[in-house]
Structure 1
Amino acid sequence: MLLNMLCLSALPAAMVFAAPASTAATTNATSTASSIQKPELNLKSAVLIEPTTGQVLYAMNADEPLPPASMTKMMTEYIVAEQVKQGKLKWTDKVTVGRNSEETIGSRIFLAEGDVHTVEELYIAMAVGSANDATVALAEKVSGTEQEFVKLMNKTAQEMGMKTAYFINATGLDKADMPEDFRPDTDKEDVMSAMDAAILGKHIVTDHPDYAKYTSIQSYKFRERDKAPIINYNWMLESNKSIPNFKAYAYPGLDGLKTGHTQNAGNCFTSTAVRNGERLIGVVMGADSEAHRFTETKKLLDYGFDNFEVKQAVAGKSKVEGLDSVPVKKGVGTSVGVVTDGDVSFIVPKGAEAKSVKFTTKLESADGLVAPIKKGTKVGTITYTYKADGIDKAQTKTVNLVTSEEVEKGGWFRLFFRAIGEMFSDLFEGIKNLF
């Protein structure tokens, strides 16, 4: 039970971000923070997040469910990669193409029923060329039918905390464009908010850090007989800086994730890029052209990289002001030290000093612990809160409070005489209070 609210205080100097080196630096940082200007985007919705903290840096209609088009395939990509990670699939496993794949229209690689390809070949066709037929083939490989796979997609979306996402197929096609015999019995369509797309992107880059092995491929020849390779729809890949048709859009550090386009959705893009070791994920939905979705994405990513950075507020294994230890019963010692079990980082304006970081603590028991106690035993939680200039909402991060050392159970002789000492102490205290 979380019973004991112990402390609400500004962090001590040892636990906040390092102060600027000079008064001039402080002045410049304050000026920078106050001059942050959000980009004006001509879109239906957009969002920008930092994936390690989950912090939202920019949001415009970010929670509105919209047709995601082929950004739907990010969920298919995630599930297939997860199946490989768990050993349920191998990249070298063979996939036999079914009629549903053959009849699937839109962006495709013209698979025929009975064709056999590896999971990896089809995955590349999906990730690079947004191939609908390859996507359906993978869905059927995982779950037997596309609609059984859709159940897994929706279940996974709920587990990820996606609030608006709902899928009716693995591809992002409108229901009317699916093969007639394989359409679901529903009047719903695929929907996903920009925020949900960002959450999905966050899980891809954190749970499968090798994702760029596939999403950054510029072109791929699927079959030897094919006259031309599949070309990646993502014009912003950093590697495109040497390609004449795309170099105007190539963005430093960009290596994914997924484009999308249908008449209903317009042009969409979930992007991710890394600069100076820090990664951002941006989502734009409802752009009016292919080029427009990339120029708006550049504005979004530039806003994040130019104005914000991640800084550590609290190192792991730090002591907490006002809570150095908790009482221990039946132990060799009568108390045990308490520390944080992980570090805490926040997004701050570039060059700014983080001020007024506060925290609250909660203990699981008001009565303390009972020996024996192992080092690292959880005793409660601590929640840090920080409001940064240029970011609308305060940031919070909760970590566990754990014991800093082991406490062995005391022997009966020690505990007996401790009890006698406590009894006389209570007696003398009671007598003193009489006078």
Structure 2
Amino acid sequence: MFRYVKKICSVVAVTLLLNASLTLVQPTPVQAADTPVDLKLNAKSAILMEASTGQILYEYNADEALPPASMAKMMTEYLVMEAIKSGKIDKTTMVTTSKYASEVIGSQILLAEGEQATVDDMFSALSIYSANDAAVALAEHIGGTEENFAKMMNEKAKEFGLSEQAHFINATGLGRADLGKYAPQNLQGETLLSARDAAIIAYNILKDHKEVLEYTKIPAKKFRERDTTPMINWNWMLWDNRNTTNFKRYAYEGLDGLKTGSTNEAGYCFTGTAERNGMRLISVVMGTETEPSRFEETRKVLDYGFTNFELKQVLGAKAEIDSMKTVNIKKGVKTQVPVVTETAVSIVAKKGAAADQFTITAAPADESKLIAPITQGQVLGTVKVSYNGNEQTANLVAAEDVEQGSWIRLFFRAIKDFFVDTVKGVTS
């Protein structure tokens, strides 16, 4: 008899749970995307992303694969910081300059073959002065050879979900012709990235290794104590340049990174990032004709973002959701458990957007996770905030513990539910 009642009650419980899910999750149509704006950029491509959500606020020809020049070094920076964080290398680890590193062309700190410097000093040269010799030395130290390191870069590109056209052949972004006898033998083609690819790399750096900004925001620094002149940051837009005679007209409030790049093939490129009023933006411009223009076009893109958008917190952490304050559970001393948001949920919106433009929907987790015992903080569902075609999600977690019910409690509950449902069926 108990088995029969238990089976019936299980079926009823599943039905009720499914019905609850269907009634709780009722997304309303979001607004159509805004008509694309024309910023009249003098660049081959550009994109604007909000750094915490990854939302795209503006794009222009953002998916065309182009030579990124030294912007490719953002991936080199990521892998170096990843190696430090994993313990593979330390900031004080000494790096020895190879013959190749000492002979690489382009921006350099004039490392001599056999010269040694710490990982931290090499990384400073890479991030501040875009030093090709430091980039090669670090790549060889971590990968054994630069070609092996480039393979690591391509593997990481796949992890990031970059476009199929995204490709690295070295740690510097130099073209194959520039590498001469040091061109890779087992990697074909050239280094290519789209503006979207570059923004995604920057997004991941800021998400996983935000300490990179401690380097990229430095306007100038000596590499060696004996050096007569410091390395001057190629990023003229740094906010700390606002009092520097040569660069103050380019200085941009809140800007502290990230990576410039230029070759004959790439033109002038720049991935910038700036933070104002709690919102950080990532901008990419590629293929401008002059060095100043990459910063002038970046200003147009960032101005558009900061003028028109804001990062709006729609839900706080530990907040109740009106449409789903509790979740039904099985085999507990209680049949329901209150749920709250695990983290705050923010989304980028047009400034002044009305509250009714944000849609909040919630859904319970699958049945296998809704069985007692339940512990406080256990994930029991999700909540989604939608605005203008964009979505941000967070987990819903148990607000309290719920112990598993005794067999006698569950037995009598099953009998009670069975007769309640039977009476309802007869009277309906």
Q: Check the 8 A contact 1:38/1:303 in 2, yes or no.
A: no
CA shift, 1:347, in A, is 1.5
Matched, 1:273 2:291: no
Report the counterpart of residue 26 of structure 1 in structure 2: none
Matched, 1:8 2:9: no
Q: Check the 8 A contact 1:326/1:368 in 2, yes or no.
A: no
One-letter code aligned to 1:315: G
CA shift, 1:349, in A, is 2.0
TM-score by structure 2 length? 0.88
CA shift, 1:73, in A, is 0.7
In 1, Cα distance between equivalents of 2:420 and 2:35: 62
CA shift, 1:325, in A, is 2.4
One-letter code aligned to 1:153: M
Residues 421/186 of structure 1: CA separation in 2 closer, same or farther (3 Å cut): closer
Alignment of 1:302-321 (within 5 A): 302-321=303-322
Residues 144/186 of structure 1: CA separation in 2 closer, same or farther (3 Å cut): closer
In 1, Cα distance between equivalents of 2:394 and 2:35: 32
Q: Check the 8 A contact 1:10/1:356 in 2, yes or no.
A: no
Residues 36/172 of structure 1: CA separation in 2 closer, same or farther (3 Å cut): closer
Q: Check the 8 A contact 1:64/1:194 in 2, yes or no.
A: yes
Residues 181/199 of structure 1: CA separation in 2 closer, same or farther (3 Å cut): closer
Alignment of 1:2-401 (within 5 A): 4-5=21-22, 6-8=24-26, 38-163=38-163, 164-365=165-366, 369-387=370-388, 394-401=389-396
One-letter code aligned to 1:254: L
In 2, Cα distance between equivalents of 1:322 and 1:231: 56
Please tell me the root mean square deviation across aligned C-alpha atoms, in Å: 2.4
CA shift, 1:171, in A, is 0.2
Matched, 1:402 2:397: yes
Cα-to-partner distance string for 1:300-350 (whole Å, 9 max, x where unaligned): 111111111111112233333443323222211122223332222121222
Q: Check the 8 A contact 2:321/2:362 in 1, yes or no.
A: no
Q: Check the 8 A contact 2:376/2:399 in 1, yes or no.
A: yes
Cα-to-partner distance string for 1:37-60 (whole Å, 9 max, x where unaligned): 652211100011111121111100
CA shift, 1:355, in A, is 2.7
One-letter code aligned to 2:299: K
Cα-to-partner distance string for 1:31-80 (whole Å, 9 max, x where unaligned): xxx99965221110001111112111110011111100000111111111
One-letter code aligned to 1:59: E
One-letter code aligned to 1:7: V
CA shift, 1:225, in A, is 4.0
What SS is found at the alignment partner of 1:370?
coil
In 2, Cα distance between equivalents of 1:420 and 1:9: 37
In 2, Cα distance between equivalents of 1:402 and 1:96: 50
In 1, Cα distance between equivalents of 2:366 and 2:128: 53
Report the counterpart of residue 423 of structure 1 in structure 2: 418
In 2, Cα distance between equivalents of 1:419 and 1:87: 55
In 2, Cα distance between equivalents of 1:299 and 1:430: 67
Cα-to-partner distance string for 1:120-146 (whole Å, 9 max, x where unaligned): 111111111111111000001111111
Residues 427/223 of structure 1: CA separation in 2 closer, same or farther (3 Å cut): closer
Q: Check the 8 A contact 2:127/2:259 in 1, yes or no.
A: yes
What SS is found at the alignment partner of 2:111?
coil
Residues 357/110 of structure 1: CA separation in 2 closer, same or farther (3 Å cut): same
Q: Check the 8 A contact 1:168/1:184 in 2, yes or no.
A: no
- How many percent identity over aligned positions? 50
Q: Check the 8 A contact 1:348/1:354 in 2, yes or no.
A: no
In 2, Cα distance between equivalents of 1:272 and 1:331: 50
What SS is found at the alignment partner of 2:380?
strand
One-letter code aligned to 2:25: C
One-letter code aligned to 1:416: F
One-letter code aligned to 2:149: F
In 1, Cα distance between equivalents of 2:321 and 2:218: 47
Residues 302/170 of structure 1: CA separation in 2 closer, same or farther (3 Å cut): same
Q: Check the 8 A contact 2:373/2:404 in 1, yes or no.
A: yes
Larger helix percent: 2
Report the counterpart of residue 14 of structure 1 in structure 2: none
What SS is found at the alignment partner of 1:252?
coil
Greater CA drift, 277-286 or 351-360? 351-360
Q: Relative contact order (alpha carbons < 8 A, sep ≥ 6): 1 or 2 greater?
A: 1
One-letter code aligned to 2:331: K
In 2, Cα distance between equivalents of 1:95 and 1:186: 25
In 1, Cα distance between equivalents of 2:333 and 2:426: 29
Residues 333/252 of structure 1: CA separation in 2 closer, same or farther (3 Å cut): same
CA shift, 1:179, in A, is 4.2
CA shift, 1:116, in A, is 1.1
| Structure 1: unaligned runs, 5 residues or longer | 12-33, 388-393
In 2, Cα distance between equivalents of 1:428 and 1:280: 60
One-letter code aligned to 1:415: L
CA shift, 1:362, in A, is 3.7
In 2, Cα distance between equivalents of 1:301 and 1:427: 64
CA shift, 1:430, in A, is 4.6
Residues 222/326 of structure 1: CA separation in 2 closer, same or farther (3 Å cut): closer
CA shift, 1:366, in A, is 5.5
CA shift, 1:252, in A, is 1.3
Equivalenced residue count is 404
Cα-to-partner distance string for 1:209-245 (whole Å, 9 max, x where unaligned): 2222211222222234434222111111111122211
Q: Check the 8 A contact 1:68/1:172 in 2, yes or no.
A: yes
| Structure 2: unaligned runs, 5 residues or longer | 1-16
CA shift, 1:90, in A, is 1.3
